[in-house]
Structure 1
């Protein structure tokens, strides 16, 4: 039997750093939620002329490695602040999670196998995994379902907003409601993948070695996680298509719903075949 070469001091240090990263990520995530709330309330209550002036003001920035100057409206910049905070939060949450629950290592790369960095971690239990799905689901209900119900009923916010305010508010709700729906779909499909993989390996232990063509399956489902990307994109379409009903745009609703369901089905099909990649749950790789 081999013994772990990781010392208690190294494990403690890794866990401490992981806890610090997770805590920092949580702070940024909470800040993003607060900023989103402030932005929605602010845009809802601004006078139309003030909102128009803000929208007409532009910020200049350099793009394409600094060779091209572009402009962005102040209103668009305001709506992007919560998203930027969420991105910063993920930059802390992901490595923090890996440091707390797994090990990160380096290795040489090949075309079919090998990111320059690999991670192995303990997968979440099924119950806790399912519980995490409730968080983006609740966010989607708050950002899309309740405002849409109020709009159709015409009795509460955001019904009654002036056109300029209404357009800006729905732009915010759609952007972040779509993100919440995408996260919910990705988490649920990931959960289904875990259930199917576990059941498959339990019935057929040899499945841990993958199947024919596992190089391609590994590239698609393990290295790049196209199953979850497709599921997330499909979830965003399905989660947002209902807004069209509030504006009596049935063709847009049907088209968006069909596209979203097709993407979800494609992601789910890849996810339930993850075992073919010959890789365990709780592993990943990246180039950095």
Structure 2
């Protein structure tokens, strides 16, 4: 499959059907020139499927790690990004927490168990709140947890030492999300990219690198520094079929609908267009072509 990013957007007929995703302050419009009317395959079991175009029974190619399953990884991170945006419309109601193990803890089942127990302890102290928690694998094999706590009112003060006592497994940091107007994009950036030094120390395979980016930050002395990150390198660390994120029962889903492009633009008219991309897909072997266009609108961006 050949994938090409186009420099110029395509002109969309106002009456064409698009997918409209409404998620808090963010609205996404996605247009596909070719609309799917059904699946190409029918799954028979975990190992076999039928190609509906030819009738052949074929075997699935099982993956060894997440970096070989980029489509599913992208879908998981997009769902997480959309969930965050759908549920966080006022950052003063939220806190961003990172939970770190003191030991080199590598058991995904224990990770889930420890997280659930910590949430129970924290709710006894700070009252009820909703949460979205994502797991981040480290180069040394251990796990981190990143959580967003969402309160009905302004978020209370969460002292690091109190949260650490509830965690009981190591260290915690608690941060505000001031001046972040696209929380989903901001927070999911932690989960795919890996700092260059960490990737080199962990001997992480880098054949799936998408590039290196530099991120500016302010150190403990107030001095601006830069770090280099390898895009997508951390995806290699996720086990196959691992649930990247978990959420509480009160977390709402984005609203997704199929409407005309004209109607979608009307719904997004009060928001600012902040990003767009147009992608051409071509599979010569299967005589398949399509063009996708994405538009993102932010209602609080000035």
TM-score (norm 1): 0.25
| Higher fraction of strand | 2
Higher relative contact order, chain-length normalized (CA < 8 Å, sep 6+): 2
TM-score normalised to the size of structure 2?
0.24
